[in-house]
Structure 1
Amino acid sequence: MKFTPEVMLGAPRRSAGVPNPAGTLILYTESTYSFQTHQKSIELRVLEVETGDSHELAKDDEISDLNWLDDDQFACLQAEKDGTTSLYVASVSKCLQKIEMGSSHYVAGTVDAMAGNLKLAKLDDEGHEYAVVVSAAACPDGTLYTPEKASRKTQSTGRLYSSLMVRHWDHYVTAQKSCLWYGKLSKRKSRDGKYKLSALSNALKDTPHGCPVEPFGGTDSFDICPTGIVFVAKDPELNPALNTKCNVYLIQLQDWLQKETSASRQVVVPGFEGACTSPVFDPAGKKVAFLMMKKNGYEADRNVMFVTSSLSGQSNLQAQEVLEDQKSYIAQEGYKGLWDRSPQSISFSADGESLLATAEELGHGRLFEIRMHLSTPLGREIRQLTDHGYVSGAVPLRDGRIFVSGSSLVDNSWYAIVDARADPNASVSGSLTTWSHSNSTEGSKFGLRKKQVSSIWTPASNPAVNEEVNSIVVKPSTFDPNSSKKYPVAYSIHGGPQGSWADSWSTRWNPAVFAEQGYIVIAPNPTGSTGYGQEFCDSIRDNWGGDPYQDIVNCFEWVGKNMPEADNDRAVALGASYGGYMMNWVQGHDLGRKFKALVCHDGIFSFAGGLLATEELYFPFHDLGGTPWYDPGFKEADKASSNFASSTLADWRKWDPSEHLTNWATPQLVIHSSKDYRLAISEGLAAFNVLQARGVDSQFLCFPDENHFVLKPENSLAWHKTVLNWINKHVGLPAYTKEDPEGEEFWGGARSEKEEVADMPAQGKPET
């Protein structure tokens, strides 16, 4: 099989696995899109760990948020077509025996709105009662935002705003906010032995808080235990468009049926003013751990792990940095800081003695164990538990083992069980993994192989920070190291800019798709990339077109000198978001003349025009060193304390692509979507207009119904057709498709009236 965009987009997509407490069964959903029928199918499946057999439990239901009640029964949410949400309870064994509806699975309750992010906590030893929390939108008065309330019944569609954050990601901001709703799932008084969901109450009613944190917050924004809810929310005293500051709050509940909650208490962390995520209770419900950043306004600051000593008392809570007692030791050893990685998520181990943290490191997403109660010189021990691929989630099992979900550049989903108990000194290279299961047989179902992937290290622009820059290399599956054949090169620049290319699967920017067209793909991680130390990440501030650009130049030149199989005379470059900015920056500089063609997806054309129109203004104000205005009336003390008064318009122009338009000459494909409110579509139109007016070979691809990402399968396929045809033409490879872009076939064929109606958003249901 040749790995093509159709194969990638049509392949079954498996969710993160949800193991039962014993680790014997794994629940997951699997979605598949058919380009023949233009429909998506969804299956709820269970995987038997012992045999590796997978069984279908349900099909074509919008099921999400799987939670085990015991080793056989589970609860989940199902989105209904009328805009409501059902909470189902099911038995795996009875479903597999094909026992009729009502006995094998049943509706335990209904939420009269779209709800998600279900979490449960057992309230008694027998498992008769569970605390329940879901997220759902609330009206300004705290009541549930139902489909009936969703449609404005005014003659005008206008909205008037008087503060920042007019729109966010892909929607205009309204008065509704996401809230946490709590209740009880119980069968204690049930005559038929079935669980029943109580009425739900808004835990955030009469507060200024919203949770989960938009736009991407989910279950990582809160946690529950039998005695309460811990959650993170934006600081209500600060404008969310100008600040990243979040706070951690605790709500204690004695009765999950009570209609009103006690006042929330804040977890205070002196000196830390940034974003926070991943609040989690320990297994006993006595402590809370969470991640928090130090700097307000900087969304890529290093996440620091904190844990509270106790949840008792009435006043606000204090938290201590988990690795704080390592600082003096590490300083003596001459390190640049303590553990210089930024955890992405944390959870407690089954015994509560350790934290499990996922973090990027040198092109991988690894799982680490931080043991907190050891009589060692450090007082803490950091242990790496995985060494390959990219871990996306970890679930502790009750016996101390850890279930892990992840992916790699050639495998779209793998599950594993890691056992770190037997030998504390065991190597991570295979001996800790006691079981694994791959959705694609480690890529072989796609015709991909691990040996296609390697990496190179090239000179860094600023060796005082990092001496070398890492790049991931993906070669065609047919590559023969003994052949003299030369391959065109595709340089792929990641977004962020504080992001990275890593050994993880993607259906939006998948290096293997380009490699299988006949390219050697080089994916650099230049200055600003994550996973190579916080100083390297931070160094991109007010440096967008400086060191990162030179890192890419150095990489290009190194490849030309050291990789004879790479034909740098037939090279193209592609990038999205910050990578799109870099395409426009490269276009105006010497490196741009060395590429046959460029692809700019959702890139920045002009700093003043593009970044002042974004929704989260704290991002450009931090990354570009301040605002494009300067008030000479500021006192020196004010300047030192202000996040937003240290820059000028001249500083912004320093790295502005639109300052170098006289050099634009390389053929360029520009892609932008109408619902991208992070970078408005005018940025793409401006770049295309300049290219056209200058007589440069160029195309403009637009999706009116997509945001910063192209997510719909048919749109994604059209994206890939357009991009591959564009770059293949300019390096002399055959066109990916001979379909005429003026014809319907190129765009997925004509839409039926039924499809048009089905694609219309339901009343009150936001487009996603």
Structure 2
Amino acid sequence: MTLTATKFTPKVMLSAPRRSPGVPSPSGKLALYTVSSYSFDSHKKSSQIRALDIDSGESVSVVEESGASEPVWLGDDEVLYLKSGDNGSTTLVVRHLKPDTSSYEAGSVKGPISNVKVKKLSNSTIAFACSALTTPDGKLYNPETEKKPQSSAKVYTSLFARHWDAWNSENTSSLFYGVLEQKDGKYSLRDNALTHALAGTKLSSPVPPFGGTGDFDIGPAGLVFVAKDPELNAAIYTKTDLYFIPLETFTESNPPAPQIVKTPGLEGYSNSPVFSSCGRKVAFTRMRSNQYESDKPRLLVVPDITNPDRTEEFYATKDGHGGWDARPDSILWSHDDAKLYVTAEHHARTLIFELPSTPSKATSLPTPISTPDGSVFSFYLLPSSTSTPTQNANPNNLFVTTTSLIDNSCYSITSPSTSTFTIISSASKQGKSFGLTRSSLDTITFRGAGGDYDVHALVVRPSTFSKNDGKKYPLCMLIHGGPQGAWQDSWSTRWNPAVFAEQGYVVVCPNPTGSTGCGMALEDGIRGEWGGRPYNDLVRCFEWVVENMPEVDGNRAVALGASYGGYMINWIQGHPLGRKFKALVCHDGVFSTLNQWSTEELFFPIHDFEGTLYENREGYEKWDPARFVGEWATPQLIIHSELDYRLPVTEGLAAFNVLQAKKVPSKLLMFPDENHWVLKHENSLVWHREVLGWINKYSGIEDEQKLAEKVEGLKV
């Protein structure tokens, strides 16, 4: 499944094959992944499960059938995957990779399951774990067989009433486990049944709305998982605890009660629990604040999971701030458990850091190991017993999946000991399939508004750019959401800077106050400053670009943003910077901060606006874009979706109503079937058409395109 294009357009980007992270086989000779693509001719999506030969970089199709998903290795040449069945059931299918072999069913579950993990227990048994929705009485939920109510009414007496893009129901996410047994060369699910691990506990895992396999792990000692504190209001507090369920055989029909892992002084999000190679230790992260979703995660280890009362923190300091000014995320143990490999953001990239696995031995801050350009998406340990020609004999080589601003999927082998890497496969040939190269990318640094910090920004120029031709390109400023987020050197099909650059813009993506990856001081500086320091950083960015980048035409500038970036577009609209732009685009933005309590995760405004609406109304009013609607004058496109419960559609309607009443050129684009993100291929194509059409009209690029088409027509 390949695609080659001479120009990178929205349709090219959306049609391009999308690969999942590669997962190496037990021997390290193959890597398993899924790939999907969409055809705008047939209006259909196709998908495959494929196996990559790590030495040659060649791949073969393993499974190509509708409803197949979530492949995992059972052995070096056997793959298990899920297949949707009749009446909402799920079939466990095993496929042998040897030629002339057929697949077979290993079991069937009477409902939808997902987030599969397996762990080999012996030569003939494999522990199996997954997640699924359960009913209030603890039974597996199946929407196909559930009795339909006669009324559509919903009644709530506690939060959440709705979350992300769905109204909450009584059903909750839970974990299940079982055993796959091998007999006569075939695996089968023992008793064709799974055990509900959290029955009767009031605990729910993975944590909605985005929890997945990163919320739990499976090891020879049992299960570890994170779950919200059932005694706290989930909409107001971020606290999630780590729990351990001891299991000896994974055949226990009545699992022991979950044991909480104690972390004194840390009461925020717990994430990324991972068993050590020996299965006795667990590493994970946890935040300190129980009302700050973007607090700094602290890296911790449980030396002996059978004693969950004892944890050790890496780089702990007496003041509680922690000595490593980074945000550790994914975690991997070395084969001998002596080292940890941890991902963290660092100046617009996600990198892998190596450190000792014992906190007392971590006496110096970790440094990143070398990986391909871009950001690490996932990484796995390769086996130490064997090596292929591509791999040296280092026992801790990593199979790494990265993406970048020009490459949507790259698989490589990285050696931590030598900090070198070898690229195995790039889905877009490192951007060449899209007509993109690294030469179009750049970074700039300018002094922030506070005067004592620097602000970094990514820059993407058109692939046809030449600094010697004297041509000026209109500025396209992209403002990221979050606000605790960042533009990264990574791939996106929703906000891809290269799509805008290929229209003929110099695209600048600043990471102002509130951004992650540049230290917690910059990130935390946005609290109580939504329209303050970040706005002034953007003013500084605009001024720096115009003064220092001669290829940029600041008189034809446009600005776009989504979520918090959409808030900032509305804020800019009412302030002097708004008059510097020819056009603005606001996607799912905030019209009024006084409406922030119409959101679902209330801990977010409580933290960022320094209190509740009734305790600190002045803090909400201070940064309210609606206070300045009298100044709104720049043409603006408003985009909003009806399933966006984080920022309800009325925020977009209010902004559009103001613009129309003031007779400011404006347009409303609404999606009834999308949430905070526009994900459907056909909708995304419309999104890009409207967005690019809007900014091209006001920047003058539309006239340039028409002139070029006219000249080309005369040549013909």
Shorter chain as denominator, the TM-score bin is over 0.9
Q: Determine if the alignment matches structure 1 residue 79 to structure 2 residue 84.
A: yes
Equivalent-residue separation in structure 1 for 2:663 and 2:251 (angstroms): 69
Equivalent-residue separation in structure 2 for 1:723 and 1:81 (angstroms): 41
Counterpart of 2:188 in structure 1 is 195
Q: Determine if the alignment matches structure 1 residue 457 to structure 2 residue 441.
A: no
Counterpart of 1:204 in structure 2 is 198
Q: What amino acid maps onto 1:319 in structure 2?
A: T
Counterpart of 1:754 in structure 2 is none
| Equivalences for residues 43-62 of structure 1 within 5 A | 43-62=48-67
Equivalent-residue separation in structure 1 for 2:546 and 2:490 (angstroms): 26
Compare 385-394 and 597-606 and name the one that shifted more. Answer: 385-394
Counterpart of 1:370 in structure 2 is 355
Q: Determine if the alignment matches structure 1 residue 289 to structure 2 residue 257.
A: no
Equivalent-residue separation in structure 2 for 1:81 and 1:323 (angstroms): 52
SS of the residue 1:658 aligns to: helix
Counterpart of 1:141 in structure 2 is 137
Equivalent-residue separation in structure 2 for 1:223 and 1:374 (angstroms): 22
| Equivalences for residues 106-255 of structure 1 within 5 A | 106-124=104-122, 126=123, 128-154=124-150, 156-187=151-182, 190-191=183-184, 193-197=186-190, 198-255=192-249
Counterpart of 2:711 in structure 1 is none
SS of the residue 1:661 aligns to: helix
SS of the residue 1:344 aligns to: coil
Q: Determine if the alignment matches structure 1 residue 24 to structure 2 residue 29.
A: yes
Equivalent-residue separation in structure 2 for 1:223 and 1:700 (angstroms): 45
Equivalent-residue separation in structure 2 for 1:576 and 1:588 (angstroms): 17
Contact 2:377–2:402 (CA under 8 A) maintained in structure 1: yes
Counterpart of 2:71 in structure 1 is 66
Counterpart of 2:304 in structure 1 is 310
Counterpart of 2:521 in structure 1 is 535
Pairwise CA distance, 1:90: 1.6
Compare 168-177 and 455-464 and name the one that shifted more. Answer: 455-464
Q: Determine if the alignment matches structure 1 residue 698 to structure 2 residue 666.
A: yes
Equivalent-residue separation in structure 1 for 2:605 and 2:203 (angstroms): 25
Equivalent-residue separation in structure 1 for 2:636 and 2:283 (angstroms): 48
Q: What amino acid maps onto 2:653 in structure 1?
A: L
Equivalent-residue separation in structure 2 for 1:336 and 1:147 (angstroms): 46
Counterpart of 1:679 in structure 2 is 647
Counterpart of 1:320 in structure 2 is 312
CA separation of 1:710/1:735 partners in 2, compared to 1, >3 Å: closer, same or farther?
farther
C-alpha distance after superposition, 1:461-513 (max 9, x if no partner): 1133x2x1101000000001101100011000000000000100000000000
Equivalent-residue separation in structure 2 for 1:549 and 1:284 (angstroms): 50
Counterpart of 2:493 in structure 1 is 507
Contact 1:489–1:572 (CA under 8 A) maintained in structure 2: yes
Counterpart of 1:635 in structure 2 is none
Counterpart of 1:760 in structure 2 is none
Compare 370-379 and 224-233 and name the one that shifted more. Answer: 370-379
Pairwise CA distance, 1:720: 0.2
Equivalent-residue separation in structure 2 for 1:694 and 1:172 (angstroms): 35
Counterpart of 1:438 in structure 2 is 426
Compare 536-545 and 65-74 and name the one that shifted more. Answer: 65-74
Pairwise CA distance, 1:179: 0.5
CA separation of 1:735/1:33 partners in 2, compared to 1, >3 Å: closer, same or farther?
farther
Pairwise CA distance, 1:318: 1.9
Structure 2 residue aligned with 1:396, among 362, 369, 381?
Answer: 381
Q: Determine if the alignment matches structure 1 residue 567 to structure 2 residue 546.
A: no
Pairwise CA distance, 1:195: 3.4
SS of the residue 2:329 aligns to: strand
Counterpart of 1:617 in structure 2 is 602
SS of the residue 2:88 aligns to: coil
Contact 2:640–2:669 (CA under 8 A) maintained in structure 1: yes
Under a length normalisation based on structure 1, what TM-score does the superposition of the two structures give? 0.87
Equivalent-residue separation in structure 2 for 1:448 and 1:540 (angstroms): 35
Structure 2 residue aligned with 1:601, among 587, 596, 614?
Answer: 587
Contact 1:268–1:319 (CA under 8 A) maintained in structure 2: yes
Equivalent-residue separation in structure 2 for 1:409 and 1:476 (angstroms): 13
Equivalent-residue separation in structure 2 for 1:23 and 1:735 (angstroms): 54
Contact 1:578–1:604 (CA under 8 A) maintained in structure 2: yes
SS of the residue 1:553 aligns to: helix
SS of the residue 1:271 aligns to: coil
Pairwise CA distance, 1:91: 1.6
Counterpart of 2:702 in structure 1 is 734
**Percent identical across equivalent pairs?**
48
Could you list the runs of 5+ residues in structure 1 that have no partner in the other structure?
Answer: 631-647, 739-768
Q: What amino acid maps onto 1:242 in structure 2?
A: I
C-alpha distance after superposition, 1:153-182 (max 9, x if no partner): 32x210110112100000000000011011
SS of the residue 1:491 aligns to: strand
Equivalent-residue separation in structure 1 for 2:344 and 2:265 (angstroms): 23
SS of the residue 1:513 aligns to: helix
Count of residues paired in the alignment: 689
Contact 1:3–1:448 (CA under 8 A) maintained in structure 2: yes
Pairwise CA distance, 1:380: 7.5
Contact 2:341–2:352 (CA under 8 A) maintained in structure 1: yes
Equivalent-residue separation in structure 2 for 1:76 and 1:282 (angstroms): 25
Q: What amino acid maps onto 1:676 in structure 2?
A: D
Q: Determine if the alignment matches structure 1 residue 517 to structure 2 residue 503.
A: yes
Contact 1:691–1:698 (CA under 8 A) maintained in structure 2: yes
Q: Determine if the alignment matches structure 1 residue 279 to structure 2 residue 273.
A: yes
Could you list the runs of 5+ residues in structure 2 that have no partner in the other structure?
Answer: 1-5, 385-395, 707-716
C-alpha distance after superposition, 1:5-58 (max 9, x if no partner): 000000000111111122210111110100000000001111111111111122
Counterpart of 1:261 in structure 2 is 255
CA separation of 1:241/1:411 partners in 2, compared to 1, >3 Å: closer, same or farther?
same
Equivalent-residue separation in structure 1 for 2:623 and 2:309 (angstroms): 44
Pairwise CA distance, 1:146: 1.6
Pairwise CA distance, 1:447: 0.4
Compare 362-371 and 545-554 and name the one that shifted more. Answer: 362-371
SS of the residue 2:153 aligns to: coil
C-alpha distance after superposition, 1:63-85 (max 9, x if no partner): 33222122211222223364221
Contact 1:419–1:433 (CA under 8 A) maintained in structure 2: yes
Contact 1:292–1:303 (CA under 8 A) maintained in structure 2: yes
Equivalent-residue separation in structure 1 for 2:656 and 2:506 (angstroms): 28
Contact 1:369–1:382 (CA under 8 A) maintained in structure 2: yes
Q: What amino acid maps onto 2:382 in structure 1?
A: L
Equivalent-residue separation in structure 1 for 2:206 and 2:654 (angstroms): 35
Contact 1:460–1:469 (CA under 8 A) maintained in structure 2: yes
Contact 1:724–1:736 (CA under 8 A) maintained in structure 2: no
Q: What amino acid maps onto 2:315 in structure 1?
A: L
Equivalent-residue separation in structure 2 for 1:241 and 1:257 (angstroms): 36
Equivalent-residue separation in structure 2 for 1:243 and 1:417 (angstroms): 40
CA separation of 1:576/1:551 partners in 2, compared to 1, >3 Å: closer, same or farther?
same
Counterpart of 1:628 in structure 2 is 613
Counterpart of 1:550 in structure 2 is 536
Pairwise CA distance, 1:354: 1.3
Pairwise CA distance, 1:388: 2.7
Pairwise CA distance, 1:735: 7.4
